[in-house]
Structure 1
Amino acid sequence: MESTTSLRPRSIPDIPADPTKEARTAIWVAAIAGLSLLFDGFDLTVYGTVLPGLVKGGSDALGWWSSGLSGGQPIPPAIAGQIGSYALVGVMIGSLTAGAIGDRIGRKKLILVGIAWFSLGMFASAFATSIAFFGTLRLLTGLGLGVLLATAGATMAEFAPAGKRNFYNAIVYSGIPAGGVLAALLGLALLNQIGWRGLFMLGATPILFLFPMALTMLNESPRWLLSRGRVDEAVAISRRTGIPLTEHQQFGGVPVAEDLHLEQKTGFAGIFSRRYLVGTVFLGFMSFSGLLLTFGLNTWLPAIMGGHFQEAGMGADAAKRYGLIFLLLLNGGAVVGGLIASMVADKAGPQRVIITTFTLAALSLTLMTFGFPIGLLLASIAVAGVGILGTQVLIYGFTSNYYATHVRAAGVAWCSGFGRLGGILGPLIGGWLAAAGVAGDTAFYVFAGVALFGALMTVLVPRPAKGHSDREQLEAEQDVAGVAA
């Protein structure tokens, strides 16, 4: 991990923003980063889509160490919960690794590595024949997913027009719940035809089209290049993309035009410096709460609701279908609600909006226990999607704009990596509750309590400390406060 940056900056041309080029560039970056996270979300959600069938066993079930289980033996819920957490362990490791090196080697290289890695991991997972091999591949696939989660937001924040950063980050990170929608839709339409292995193979297709698109269409961030002292490259890309650079753009509090030797903390050393320490801690716990809710419910909601409907007298196939519909609404609500909330966040400030959506999640999850008719239950879970997955979308955007360029990748990686502890715990909690025979109502109360904890953590996040701040960071602080930059 790199702790300091040293370079001798020099004068750069005054390059104002070209609104047409800047908007076109932002759209391309959002498309590439958003599609990356769409398949990221698909890969992380598809396990919950196929879980009910894996738990029950069958002719295509996983064996313990080699071939399929004789007689179609089921996977115990506790083991199923552990498997669901393996990918999230990989995501945590991948995110933290990206944070350690992302502010040193750049954004584009990490995005390319992440796309290729998780695509190959999903392809290999489709051929697993044992629980041990499948779990190992889920962990390895998670490494690539984590790299993308840590890098996409940092990239988008450096290409998004000022004053629209929360919205563009929401577009990118809405790819995660959109991937959940895709997993649920494909599960409803194709699971019986192509099986769980076929769904995993679909998750490997980005290497065929998204990798070439990113390789040819994605530029390195000119702001990152400038922070590394690569002025000529930054100027060339700025002119080509419309991203502004000015003579008085600052780096670490000192204008680039000054011929000074600079040394400042980057990477994790930077986000744990006195300037960012308190915010870094509470941002981590915000993400912890959001991802515990996200992956706990994405993994177990079909099983919880399917069991609820079976207890109410519904047939097993119909109950399974309704469970997938609930998963679809959870993620669909997040996509729509997250985009709307992000536009509000650009005006009112993301912090206040996140507090509101966390509270909304707690309320809607509590309402799920009231035994309403199915129509109201469907509406409640859609609202819960806004408050759970939509909140996590806003958290990523908030974090991307909270840190300056030289520590941004590390900040987003910390948000994603530390948050994965919650993501790992979510499926485990669902598995423990299912193994203990605890009713679905209790699970919803547990998750509602986590949402309230997340709201409290959000209240405690301070604004970035005043002091040495580059021009971009001044704009970011305005975005955090909800003032047009």
Structure 2
Amino acid sequence: MPENTLAASRLGLDDARRRRSITWVVALSTLALVFDGYDLVVYGTVVPTLLADPNQLGRLSPSQAGALGSYALVGVLIGALTAGAVGDWIGRRRVMLVGLAWFSIGMGATALTTSVQTFGFFRLLTGIGVGALVATVGALVAEFAPAGRRNVLNAVVYSGVPAGGVLAAVVALVMPDAAGWRPLFWIGAAPIVLLLPVALVRLPESPKWLVARGRFEQAQAQSRRTGIPLPTLSAPLPTTLSTTAPAGARHVGFGALARSPLAWPTLLLGTMSFGGLLLTYGLNTWLPKIMQDNGFGKSYSMTFLLVLNLGAIVGGLLASRVADRVGAKSVVASTFVLAALTLALLPFRLPAAALLLAVAVAGVGTIGTQVLIYGLVSNYYPTRARAAGVAWCAGFGRLGGIVGPVIGGALVGAGVGGTTAFYVFAVVSLLGALVTWLLPQSRHEEAAAAATVPAAEAASTVAV
């Protein structure tokens, strides 16, 4: 067989392996985040029941319910920061597998609770697994996605969060009232039997992460197995990390985030995520209750929750395509502004069709914006700090997720929840847009640098 034919055959085989690897990474990551989104919204669907019936867990006030909803987010903060601390050292695959098992066990345990205290404890425990997943999948997908499709594939994966919200809303709508709230949490434990076994077999480790850790032989083997190309070098891969790499490039994980040139962007990206998750969790937790207080029945208020998350999925995917063309920064700033405008409209007595449309667009500007932020963050950092960067934004951002439900609970408890909460969320959106515009352009140009690095600089390139 001619040499050029053999080369073409090998290239075609590599392309097929790469597509298959990317498909498995994206599919498994998306399904993992579907259950994150399910966990996010399922609590909001049971809040009215827990408030109305003290026989479930005990007597709850609206402010207590808001605080209880935040326990899972404290766990997410712990899980995300822990995953970020170890993810750039032990790898993306291990953290993701542990997160799936941990999350599932927490959801099953929550279904068995009989008191407010144990419910809150297991919500916190569940959140640790959720945090590990959210902080890991962005780094994993960014290292498998081809250049020019990173925002789209990140949007597909993180759209799993609102998709899980849709699933929770649909299940809550069709679940018979007699079944109670516990089956909703048993459904959330399904990943340990449905998803974890598949991930054990099909989820690969990132070849780029292996290179960044100096495990070059394993990286080459994994590259051949997955079809994911390594940085193009004009010299053989070294056997050890270079000691002549720039000082900043020798720092890994959170150590790199605390130093120039990443420190200031990391602060801004964390603040953006804080705002995005404040909006996401605040609306998902309290939108059904606010709409019920405004005269809408249970089914109608759950429909608003469904429309909010559907709007986030569709709008987030469309916006991500624009982000791959013009850059994620300007798109994120625009969707923050869009959220402010629509949230300011929600307190008005709009016709039903217009109100549903406004809720859908608000979903694009709130939950959809957070999807775009994860894509921006995942592609902003170099490999050596990517897991830590995503973890920081997911973890610090969840502080906003803690604040959102608490604000909603305080306002609902004061009897001014509907109008005032929407205006507060609109102001947060405008501040998010302002912070986004302050973000400097990323200095990380991984694809371009890998394609042009000279032989003399090969060692320092693979070290980053």
Verify: 1:186 aligned to 2:164, yes or no: no
Q: For residues 472 and 416 of structure 1, do their structure 2 counterparts lie closer, same or farther at Cα, with a shift above 3 Å needed?
A: farther
Where does structure 2 lack aligned partners over 5 or more consecutive residues?
1-9, 452-464
Which string of whole-angstrom CA distances, capped at 9 and with x for unpartnered residues, describes residues 99-134 of structure 1?
111100000000000000010000000010000110
Q: For residues 447 and 369 of structure 1, do their structure 2 counterparts lie closer, same or farther at Cα, with a shift above 3 Å needed?
A: same
Cα contact 1:225–1:233 (8 A) shared by 2:
yes
Cα contact 1:249–1:471 (8 A) shared by 2:
no
Question: In the alignment, which residue of structure 1 is the partner of 2:409?
Answer: 431
Verify: 1:412 aligned to 2:390, yes or no: yes
Cα contact 2:36–2:164 (8 A) shared by 1:
yes
Aligned residue-pair number:
436
C-alpha separation in 1, matches of 2:177 and 2:47: 13
Q: 1:373 aligns with which of 345, 351, 361?
A: 351
Shift of 1:194: 2.4
Code of the residue aligned with 1:362 in structure 2: it is A
Q: 1:53 aligns with which of 49, 54, 60?
A: 49
Q: For residues 247 and 258 of structure 1, do their structure 2 counterparts lie closer, same or farther at Cα, with a shift above 3 Å needed?
A: farther
Q: 1:261 aligns with which of 243, 247, 255?
A: 243
User: CA-atom RMSD, angstroms?
Assistant: 1.9
C-alpha separation in 2, matches of 1:220 and 1:322: 44
Question: In the alignment, which residue of structure 2 is the partner of 1:330?
Answer: 308
C-alpha separation in 2, matches of 1:243 and 1:327: 39
C-alpha separation in 1, matches of 2:261 and 2:175: 51
Shift of 1:161: 1.2
Verify: 1:107 aligned to 2:103, yes or no: no
Q: 1:195 aligns with which of 170, 180, 189?
A: 180
Code of the residue aligned with 1:376 in structure 2: it is A
Question: In the alignment, which residue of structure 2 is the partner of 1:460?
Answer: 438
State how 1:61-140 maps to structure 2 within 5 Å.
Answer: 61-63=56-58, 74-140=59-125
Question: In the alignment, which residue of structure 1 is the partner of 2:258?
Answer: 272
Question: In the alignment, which residue of structure 2 is the partner of 1:350?
Answer: 328
The normalised TM-score by structure 1 is 0.87
Cα contact 1:249–1:256 (8 A) shared by 2:
no
C-alpha separation in 1, matches of 2:86 and 2:190: 27
Question: In the alignment, which residue of structure 2 is the partner of 1:301?
Answer: 287
Question: In the alignment, which residue of structure 1 is the partner of 2:27?
Answer: 31
Q: 1:40 aligns with which of 36, 40, 44?
A: 36
Decide which moves more: 31-40 or 240-249. 240-249
Code of the residue aligned with 1:40 in structure 2: it is D
Indicate the SS of the match to 2:295. Answer: helix
Question: In the alignment, which residue of structure 1 is the partner of 2:156?
Answer: 171
Question: In the alignment, which residue of structure 1 is the partner of 2:462?
Answer: none
Runs of 4+ with >4 A deviation: 255-259, 469-475
C-alpha separation in 1, matches of 2:218 and 2:244: 19
Verify: 1:213 aligned to 2:198, yes or no: yes
More helix per residue: 1 or 2?
2
**Identity across matched positions, percent:** 56
Q: For residues 370 and 274 of structure 1, do their structure 2 counterparts lie closer, same or farther at Cα, with a shift above 3 Å needed?
A: same
Shift of 1:322: 1.0
Which string of whole-angstrom CA distances, capped at 9 and with x for unpartnered residues, describes residues 404-463 of structure 1?
101000000011001011000000000110111114111110000011111111101101
Which string of whole-angstrom CA distances, capped at 9 and with x for unpartnered residues, describes residues 357-394 of structure 1?
11111111111122111111111000100111010000
Indicate the SS of the match to 1:309. Answer: coil
Q: 1:290 aligns with which of 276, 283, 298?
A: 276
Shift of 1:261: 2.9
